[in-house]
Amino acid sequence: MNKTDVYQTVTNRILTALEDGVIPWQKPFKPQFSPIPVNHVTGKAYRGINFFLLNLAGWQLGYPQNVWLTFRQAQKLGGYVRKGEHAETIVFWKPSQVTIEDTEEGEEKSQTVYIARCYSVFNIAQCEGLDIDEHAVSTPVLGTADQVYANFPYKRPELLPGNKAAYYPKMDHIRIPKVGDFVSLASYYATLFHELVHATGHETRLNREGISKAKCSDEIQYAQEELVAEMGASFLRAFTNIDTPVLTTNTTAYIQSWLKALSDDQKMVVQAASKAQNAVDYILGTEYS
C-alpha cells in the first residue's frame, strides 16, 4: 500500500465513524474499558492516530479489554487468531534512507525520512490459546488532572479568569472561566487541556504554524490546529481518567464541519494526531511508546 493509500485508508475509517454519528476524539467509553490501547506483548501504549483507531474499534465491537497484538505475535505466544476474525488497520512509520542534493554545497547527502505504512492487529478477544494472565499489561497512569498544568514545562502559559476559554499567542496566556462556571469538573479540565495543547504551538515551544502565525485567539482558525487541540485534549483525558464531557455545541453541525474538512484533506487527521501526540509529549515531558 503506497503512502497516499495509507492516508486515505485511515481517513475513510474516521469519516465512516463521523457519518455514523460517532466522534472518535469525543466518544465516551465504558468505565471498565481502558481508553488507552496497549500492545499485549510489549505493554506499550499505541500512539498518534492509532490511539483513536483502536479505541474506536474496541468501543464499536464491544471488546472487554483494549489490548492488541499482531497475528505473528499471537503465534509466538503459542496462540492463534480465530478463523474469520477481521483485523484492525493501524499506521506505523518506517524509517528509510534517501539521498538528497545539498543545493548550497553541491553535494549529495543521506537523510532519514519516515514513510507511512499500514499493518494489522487483533484484539486479544479475537484470539485463542493465549495465557492472558502471564502477559498481563497495565495501563499507563500519569496522575491527576491538576498535575498536567503543574508539570507543564517552564515557562507555562499564564492562566487568567475570563468569560470564555481561549489561548492568546501574543501574550502567551489562557483565559478560562472559573471551575464553578462549568457544567462539570470534567468539562473544565477538557477545556483547559484543549487550550494547553494550543499553547504548545507557541513559537518558543513546538512552533506549530496554526499558533505561531496567529497573533490573537480570533486568528486561530486553522482546521488542523483545532483538530490538534481536540485530539491532544482527548489524549490527556485518557491518561488522567477524566470523563469525556457532553458536547455543548450543535452536534450535527459539528460533525458536518469535520466531514467536510477531512474530505477536503486526506492527510489532515493523521497529521493532526501526530502533532497532538507531540503536544502531549511536550506537556507531560515523556513519551508513551
273, pLDDT greater than 70: yes
- Last-in-domain residue among 117, 138, 159: 138
Predicted pLDDT at 235: 93
Locus of grid cell 450535527: 252
Q: Which of 66, 74, 86 is closest to 131 using CA atoms?
A: 74
What is the full DSSP assignment across the chain? --HHHHHHHHHHHHHHHHHTT--TTT----TTS-SS-EETTT-PBP-THHHHHHHHHHHHHT-SS-EEE-HHHHHHTT-EEPTTPPPEEEEEEEEEEEEEEETTTTEEEEEEEEEEEEEEEEEGGGEES--TTTT---------HHHHHHTSPSSPPEEEE-SS-EEETTTTEEEE--GGGSSSHHHHHHHHHHHHHHHTTSTTTT--HHHHT-SSGGG---HHHHHHHHHHHHHHHHHTTPPPPPP-S-HHHHHHHHHHHHHH-TTHHHHHHHHHHHHHHHHHTS---
Please state the domain count of the chain. Answer: 2
If asked whether residues 177 and 130 sit together in one domain, one would say no
Predicted pLDDT at 244: 74
Predicted pLDDT at 115: 83
Residue bearing the bigger pLDDT, 29 or 10:
10
Predicted pLDDT at 27: 67
pLDDT tier, 258 (very low <50, low <70, confident <90, very high otherwise)? very high
Average pLDDT, the chain: 87
Predicted pLDDT at 31: 58
If asked whether residues 182 and 78 sit together in one domain, one would say no
If asked whether residues 171 and 246 sit together in one domain, one would say yes
pLDDT tier, 94 (very low <50, low <70, confident <90, very high otherwise)? confident
Q: Express each pLDDT in 45-80 by its tens digit.
A: 999 999 999 999 998 999 989 999 999 999 999 999
If asked whether residues 58 and 1 sit together in one domain, one would say yes
- With beta carbons less than 8 A apart as the criterion, state whether 280 and 288 touch: no
If asked whether residues 122 and 174 sit together in one domain, one would say no
Q: Which of 97, 101, 89 is closest to 114 using CA atoms?
A: 97
If asked whether residues 88 and 164 sit together in one domain, one would say no
Which percentage of the chain shows pLDDT scores above 70? 86
Rounded to a whole number of angstroms, the distance between the first and last alpha carbons of the chain is 24
If asked whether residues 78 and 106 sit together in one domain, one would say yes
Burial class (CB in 10 A: 0-12, 13-18, 19+), 97: exposed
Q: Which domain holds residue 183?
A: 141-289
Which percentage of the chain shows pLDDT scores above 90? 59
If asked whether residues 156 and 115 sit together in one domain, one would say no
pLDDT tier, 221 (very low <50, low <70, confident <90, very high otherwise)? low
- Last-in-domain residue among 138, 163, 190: 138
Q: Which of 238, 160, 148 is closest to 200 using CA atoms?
A: 148
CA 190 to chain centroid? 14
CB atoms inside a 10 Å sphere around CB 142:
17
The pLDDT of 77-92, averaged and rounded, is 96
Predicted pLDDT at 181: 95
If asked whether residues 172 and 284 sit together in one domain, one would say yes
Write phi, then psi, for 214 (nearest 5 degrees): -95, 145
If asked whether residues 122 and 147 sit together in one domain, one would say no
The pLDDT of 161-171, averaged and rounded, is 94
34, pLDDT greater than 70: yes
Phi-psi region of 24 (alpha: psi -120 to 50; beta: other; left: phi over 0): alpha
pLDDT tier, 132 (very low <50, low <70, confident <90, very high otherwise)? confident
CA 140 to chain centroid? 15
Predicted pLDDT at 289: 41
Predicted pLDDT at 196: 97
- Last-in-domain residue among 138, 159, 179: 138
* Type of residue at 282: Y
Predicted pLDDT at 288: 46
If asked whether residues 96 and 123 sit together in one domain, one would say yes
If asked whether residues 71 and 161 sit together in one domain, one would say no
Question: pTM of the full predicted structure?
Answer: 0.87
Q: Which of 282, 83, 74 is closest to 196 using CA atoms?
A: 282
pLDDT tier, 2 (very low <50, low <70, confident <90, very high otherwise)? low
Predicted pLDDT at 28: 56
